[in-house]
Structure 1
Amino acid sequence: MTSPIRIETGSDPELAVVTINHPPLNLYDREMHAALAETVTALERDRPRGALFRAEGKVVSGGVDVRDSFLPIAQNGDVDAGTAYFAELVELGERVHRLPFPTVFAAHGLTLTWAFELALACDLIVAGESASFGLIEATVGLTPAMGGTQRLAQRCGQGRAKYFVMTAGRFGAAEMERWGAVDRMVPDDELDGTARELARSLAAGPTVAHAATKEILATLAADGLDTANARTGEIAGKLFGTEDLRGAMDSFVERGHGKATFRGA
């Protein structure tokens, strides 16, 4: 059986391209759940220097296959099973969020529920101009459970996160870019190329420094400004022991700004 998620490197082994392909609507079901867990494990193990998440088809995802994922738990009123399943979802989102390299998500068409939560767990979101987003779990009496509510609030404030989640609406790329939930909006026909080029450029850059940036921001989110400030010296100071920094400094002195080559070491 073909997995609903595949990882490819192609001609650029530094960049992992993660493609969701589970037609017709890339719905989240038990098969997708297992595939996402396997994908995250592979990324943690193989440590590419960057990853691009994208999807095949007319939409990134139409949401969750309720019959497969939630209905049996709901019919049985099984609180323990629901709690355990949501704990797995939260862990998956957190593992993506903490990958020690840059991650980019390319959004087109509909990007609903789990897919938007996965996007929010990535570092940067690029959207086609006709893309739309929704966390519509409230329509079946649920709330998002992969960390999307929290991460949306971090990006654009609690008020907008509440409005987005509680109304279960669908919001276009332009509005999401204004909110700060989407980092860049591009014409639909430029989405794939733009997202790939952004991911490639980040993967070819100072990825150890990028990982330090992510760690500082994660500390800010978890423990506040004072703790992030207190830990910045320790986190950033380690970069002076990297080959990338030494090589970039030598390159700057010898050839000027912007000509360094980075190895991620």
Structure 2
Amino acid sequence: MTLPSSFTGESAVLRLTFDGPLAVLTMHSPPMNLFDEAMWAAWADAVAWLTAHPPRALLVRAAGRVVSAGVDVRVFAGLDPADAEAFWRTQLGIAQALEALPCPTVFAAHSLTLTAAFELALACDLVVSTPQARFGLVERKIAFTPAMGGTQRLTERVGPARARELVMTGDLYRGSVLADWGVVNALFPPDCFDADAHAYAMRLATGPARAHEATKAVVRRYLDGGVRAADAALPALAAAVAATTDHRRAVTAFLTDGPEHATHYEGR
């Protein structure tokens, strides 16, 4: 599979690489990985490409000292109010496309993760961080509100009171605190964070991809319509997974070798 040069060149602010079944999307715009026009354009291209060529799992990470200092404030200064709705609809679409990928998605935050980057983290299935990493939706500093879906996705995870607290105060919260809240799924030490985050995502990438896709679909049905909507969708989803090669081989291996069988999943 040939990747577009926009993801691989030295000038790429967002780089897409593969480690076998795992896609790795790395923000690389030092020193702050700001969300400016180039970064947003790169993200739009990346989610479009990944939608057309879904991997078995995706790891989102960042190079450098910080994950991202958020949106380049010059974007706000140059945005005509008449164009604001269309502009933010486009940026929200990036988060929606990331969220809609059929594969498991993991956002790895080793340090400061603000505004747009935090909102994209919340659009991923799972978030891992160091205990010391700091997260914030700090748009109040410019009398704004998160416009890439962060408020509502944070509400899904922690409830309305916590979401209002985080957004309205604009305070920064450690990864250890957000792990207690249920926003961060796993904490890894700084000295081995990259390796641990990669291994965490690789475990998903080498797992039963069709079963993972069904799990995402069930959760989405629940979030959109509650238990009854998830119940209505589940039989057909389960039947589709039952027909997969991975399921049939895993059942045979379980009967032969027990629950600790070492079946290699093919993702189909």
Could you tell me the TM-score, scaled by structure 2's length? 0.93
- Out of 25, 35, 39, the position equivalent to 1:28 is 35
The question of 1:6 aligning with 2:8 is answered no
1:91 deviates by: 1.1
Paired amino acid for 2:42: A
The question of 1:77 aligning with 2:81 is answered yes
Equivalent positions of 1:45-194 (< 5 A) are: 45-67=52-74, 69-73=75-79, 76-78=80-82, 81-194=83-196
Paired amino acid for 2:108: A
The question of 1:211 aligning with 2:213 is answered yes
1:190 deviates by: 2.1
Asked if structure 2 preserves the Cα contact closer than 8 Å seen for 1:13 and 1:48, the reply is no
Asked if structure 1 preserves the Cα contact closer than 8 Å seen for 2:123 and 2:153, the reply is yes
Q: Which of structure 1's runs of 4+ aligned residues deviate more than 6 A?
A: none
The question of 1:202 aligning with 2:209 is answered no
1:107 deviates by: 0.3
Partners of 1:114 and 1:200 in 2: how far apart?
25
- Out of 19, 38, 48, the position equivalent to 1:41 is 48
The question of 1:262 aligning with 2:259 is answered no
1:155 partner SS: helix
User: What's the % identity of the aligned pairs?
Assistant: 41
Partners of 1:187 and 1:135 in 2: how far apart?
24
Paired amino acid for 1:71: A
2:200 partner SS: helix
1:98 deviates by: 1.2
Q: 1:31-88: per-residue Cα shift (whole Å, max 9, x none)?
A: 0010001111121122211111000111000111111x22122xx432xx11111111
Partners of 2:81 and 2:126 in 1: how far apart?
37
Q: 1:211-257: per-residue Cα shift (whole Å, max 9, x none)?
A: 10000101111111111112111212211111111111111122222
Provide the alpha-carbon RMSD of the alignment.
1.1
Q: 1:196-215: per-residue Cα shift (whole Å, max 9, x none)?
A: 00111100001110010000
Asked if structure 1 preserves the Cα contact closer than 8 Å seen for 2:188 and 2:197, the reply is no
Name whichever of 185-194 and 125-134 sits farther off: 185-194
Partners of 2:243 and 2:110 in 1: how far apart?
41
Equivalent positions of 1:243-262 (< 5 A) are: 243-257=245-259, 258-262=261-265
1:3 deviates by: 1.5
Paired amino acid for 2:162: R
Q: List alignment gaps of at least 5 residues for structure 2.
A: 1-9
Partners of 2:137 and 2:187 in 1: how far apart?
19
The question of 1:19 aligning with 2:26 is answered yes
Name whichever of 211-220 and 251-260 sits farther off: 251-260
2:78 partner SS: helix
Q: List alignment gaps of at least 5 residues for structure 1.
A: none
Asked if structure 2 preserves the Cα contact closer than 8 Å seen for 1:127 and 1:186, the reply is yes
1:27 deviates by: 0.4
Paired amino acid for 1:72: G
1:224 partner SS: helix
Could you tell me the TM-score, scaled by structure 1's length? 0.94
Aligned positions, number:
258
